[in-house]
Each structure stands twice: as structure tokens, then as C-alpha cells.
Amino acid sequence: MHDTPRPGVLAREDAVQTTASAFTRLLDAGWSAPLPGSGATAERWRALHDLGATDLPLARLAEGHADAVAVLAELDGPAPGAGERLGVWAAEPPSGRVGAERAGGGWRLSGVKQWCSGARVCTSALVTAHADDGRRLFLVDLGVRGVAPSPGAWAAPGMAGSDTADVLLDDVPALAVGGPRAYLDRPGFWHGGIGVAAVWAGGAAGVARALADVVATAPEDPHRDAAWGAVDVALAAVDAALAVAAAEVDADPADTAGTAQRRAHRVRGLAARTGDEVLATVARALGAGPAAHDARYLGHAADLAVYLRQHHGERDLAALAAPLRAAR
């Protein structure tokens, strides 16, 4: 006798399949984003923002794919082939560690990689692993033997469609991309972090749309109007920060001025704060009705609340102190 899957598990699998199909269609239709620092960084971040405004799990996968393409270009890796769906699996939590060993002129990876978005829809992933000469980045074909996603741990309804899971790598062949610490030490690491902030900003705009719709159609209400004004100020500020950051990246893509880390922490911190502010302000202004009956708003708000936790709050704000000290 087989156990019947719980309703929450079934709903999660439906969300995963919906997002996977949308991701595949998006890339098959030719979606791409200009490389950061190419002169069109604002266009790149606007494309990610617009996806985040409509579908955050899809935007999460698209951002990972776009980041992987940029990393491969920056580190002289192989160009992605037609039909490839890439991810970047670079989280390094204390409880998970992947080791890399040289074997037969190549590399083999073993261990459990955690926080792998698109675990069952990506065709390849850039994976960080620990080798004898330090942390390295590797390109892994996810269709080979020894790659086994474990999708059952995700409990939150928010971002369920992103299929973020642990992935077991058991003696899996891998191609080294760049040298030791190349992934972390390149300027594009910080440029890529702002791409995530663009998605958060888009997610906040998507949540705010529910309030904008009410303000546009309901009788005037001073408290609700004040909430909409506050949301508009917050969204305009993060949009302006993204525009300034894009111009700065295009003017100095190699970060010769040494400002990329500081810039990324500032924009990410602002985008995360904006997302939290918009979630709270819109929820208070709309009250119980949409919170109980508006499935689109509820889903988008739940996705954003989870995705924003990729910003590590005070820990990331404290990390801004180092480049600020260096600039004094």
C-alpha cells in the first residue's frame, strides 16, 4: 500500500511543474539579458525586474540562468548550447559541503549541494566545491549518473515553484571554470548580486499592484492614499538606485575603482528593505479582504517574503562596513 501524497506536496509539485514549463518556454522563445557591464546593464536589470513583477519563481530561475551565462563569459567558460537551462548553485551553508577531486585529467564532485534552485529543470549548473587548492567553480551536466535531487524538504508555499532543493552529487564528472576563488574574486560577482536585487524590486512592484488597483477604483481614502504614496516613494527610490548602479557598472565593468562590493551591498540592502516595507504597508492598507480572497496577491506576497530572506539582514549590512572603512 502506497502513502497518499499530502495536499501540500501535491500543490508544491504543481507549482514546480508550472514554473518549469514557463522557464522552458521563456528560454525556448529566445529570452536573454545583456551581459553586465556591456553598456546595457540597465536593460538587463529591467528584464529581471519585469519578470519579478509578474512571477517570482520564474524570475528566480531566469536570473540564475542569466547569471550563469555571464559567469561563463567572464571566466572564459564554454558557451551554453541551444536548449540549455543553467543554474548557479553557490550557497555554502555550514551543513552542506561538496568536495572536488582531480581524476584522470578532470574533476569529480561528491557531496550534498544545498539551496539548488531549478533542481529538476536545469540541464546544467555552475557549482562551487572545495578542492585541495581552495574553493572552485565547476560546470556540471545534470543529466549524468550520480546527480540526485532531493526535493522533499521545502515546506513553505512561498517560492515553491522555484524547486529549490538539496542535490546529491556522487562522483560526478565536472569541468573546472576558472581557477581557485575565481568565482568570488571577479568583479561580476558583485554585479550579479545586484541582478537579484532587481528581481526583489520587481517583486515589490508586483505586490504593490494590488494596492494600486484599489486606489485607482475605490473612493478616496486618506489612509489608503498615504499608504500608496509611501509605497510609491519606496519603489521610486530603489528604481533610481538600480539606474545609477547600472550606469556605474557600465562605466567601470572591471571595477578598477574598487566600488563594486560597496555598490552591491547598498543596492541589495535597499531592495530588501523596500520589499519588506511594501509587504507590510500593502497588507495594512488592504486589510483582511485581499488577504483572504485574492489568490494572486497572496501568492506573490508569499513568494516575495521568502525570496527576500536571501538577503541576510544585519549580517549583510555589517558586511558593508568593510568597504566603507576602506573608502575613508
Is the distance from CB of 42 to CB of 195 less than 8 angstroms? Answer: no
Calculated CA dihedral for residues 106, 112, 115, 116, nearest 10 degrees: 50
Give CA–CA dist 192/280, Å, rounded.
Answer: 27
Contact 239, 205 (CB under 8 A): no
Report d(CA 124, CA 71) in Å as an integer: 13
Could you report the per-residue pLDDT of 1-60, keeping only the tens digit for each? 444 445 456 688 999 999 999 999 999 999 999 999 999 999 999 999 999 999 999 999
Report the CATH fold assignment for 86-181.
Butyryl-CoA Dehydrogenase, subunit A; domain 2 (2.40.110)
Integer CA distances (angstroms), 291 to 21, 44, 54, 275, in order? 28, 33, 18, 17
Q: What is the DSSP letter of 144?
A: S
Taking residues 149-174, report their average pLDDT.
92
Averaged pLDDT of the chain = 94
Q: Is the pLDDT of residue 151 over 90?
A: no
Of 131, 135, 51, the C-alpha closest to 91 is 135
Distances (CA, A) of 105 to 79, 90, 119, 172: 21, 24, 28, 14
Among the ranges given (63-72, 150-159, 227-236, 298-307), the one the predictor scored with the smallest mean pLDDT? 150-159
Q: What is the pLDDT of residue 96?
A: 78
Given pLDDT bands bounded at 50, 70 and 90, which one contains residue 132?
very high
Compute φ and ψ for 302, nearest 5 degrees.
Answer: -65, -40
- pLDDT (0 to 100) of residue 4: 44
Domain boundaries, the chain: 86-181, 186-327
C-alpha cell at 317: 549590512
Q: Are 45 and 177 in contact (CB under 8 A)?
A: no
| CB contact at 8 A, 302 and 260 | no
Q: Output the pLDDT for position 43.
A: 98
Q: Which CATH class is domain 186-327?
A: mainly alpha
pTM of the model: 0.95
pLDDT of residue 267: 98
Give the residue carrying C-alpha cell 518549469: 20
Report the pLDDT value the prediction gives residue 94, as an integer from 0 to 100. 85
Better-scored residue on pLDDT, 3 or 233: 233
3-state secondary structure 239-273: HHHHHHHHHHHHHCCCCCCCCHHHHHHHHHHHHHH
E strands, the chain, are 86-89, 98-103, 106-116, 124-131, 134-141, 147-150, 165-176
Indicate if 186-327 has the same CATH topology as 86-181. no
Report residue 75: phi and psi, to 5°.
-105, 20
C-alpha cell at 80: 551554453
Q: In angstroms, rounded to a whole number, what is the distance separating the alpha carbons of residues 285 and 245? A: 31
